[in-house]
């Protein structure tokens, strides 16, 4: 199946590294012009842009703290100014600040919720506003596509990561609620829920491969391209009838592998 995003413009938040970086490169390779959002890693974002441009694609690095309403609006303004519109928004930016429940500070709780959940609200709210404002640009069957980055921890509890798990549980319900509300506008909203993927944010969790693989029936840790390919499919017309779904990308981690031998 060949996926073609030619003529479409995409914003990918948190695209300077990890899963956002892989998605930016994949979307650009399929023909999309990409706004590579970053908060603090300008050099890494520019490396992603350079890689896309050298391969013949179109991209620019765009600074914005996605938990800042004004910064989000500026990010959309700059993307529309450069690309003429926006057709795909991947709310990918996220973070972890881990601690045992009784030791977790309010500041660490708030920061993770602000970035992982409030940030997704601000980015996707602005996406809906822009899609409605610009209408049908004639580049896709939907007038706009929104993709939420969630995690298997929207359904799997994760001791020592209460703020992260709460943000991802909220992300899943936020995605489905938004999808229900805007489907009638021909705005498609979906989510992806990766499991153990070899990225910097998961470095500690993926360090002990033997122990980790006990939780992954498929027998391997995922890589960023596994997630990028799924994201690319969901924002393409090949997935046009998929609305309000979360695609889990986890090698069966969320299938309760501890029960394989009857518990």
d(CA 107, CA 87): 35
d(CA 43, CA 38): 10
What token pair was written down for 18? 């990890």
Strand runs (DSSP E) across 16-159, as ranges? 33-38, 58-63, 88-91, 144-149
**123, HSE (Cβ side, Cα atoms, 13 Å):** 36
What token pair was written down for 174? 């936020």
What token pair was written down for 117? 């959940």
Q: Annotated catalytic sites, by residue?
A: 164
Other CB atoms within 10 Å distance of the CB of residue 82: 14
Distance of CA 48 to the CA centre of its chain: 16
d(CA 236, CA 172): 21
φ, ψ dihedrals at 36, nearest 5°? -90, 95
């Amino acid at each position: 199946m060949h996926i073609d995003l030619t003529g479409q413009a995409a914003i990918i938040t948190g695209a300077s590294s990890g899963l956002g970086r892989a998605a930016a490169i994949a979307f650009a390779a399929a023909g999309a012009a990409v706004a590579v959002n970053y908060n603090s890693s300008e050099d890494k974002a520019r490396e992603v842009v350079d890689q896309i441009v050298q391969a013949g694609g179109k991209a620019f690095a765009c600074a914005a703290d996605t938990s800042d309403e004004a910064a989000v609006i500026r990010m959309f303004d700059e993307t529309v100014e450069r690309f003429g519109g926006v057709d795909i928004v991947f709310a990918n930016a996220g973070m972890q600040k881990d601690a045992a429940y009784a030791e977790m500070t309010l500041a660490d709780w708030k920061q993770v919720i602000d970035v992982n959940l409030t940030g997704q609200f601000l980015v996707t709210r602005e996406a809906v506003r822009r899609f409605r404002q610009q209408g049908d640009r004639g580049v896709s069957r939907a007038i706009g596509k929104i993709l939420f980055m969630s995690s298997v921890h929207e359904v799997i509890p994760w001791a020592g990561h209460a703020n992260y798990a709460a943000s991802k549980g909220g992300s899943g319900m936020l995605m489905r609620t938004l999808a229900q509300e805007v489907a009638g506008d021909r705005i498609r909203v979906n989510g992806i829920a990766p499991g153990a993927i070899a990225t910097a944010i998961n470095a500690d969790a993926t360090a002990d491969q033997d122990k980790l693989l006990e939780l992954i029936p498929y027998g391997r840790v995922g890589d960023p391209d596994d997630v990028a390919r799924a994201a690319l499919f969901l924002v393409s017309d090949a997935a046009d009838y998929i609305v309000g779904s979360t695609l889990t990308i986890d090698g069966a981690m969320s299938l309760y592998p501890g029960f394989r031998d009857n518990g």
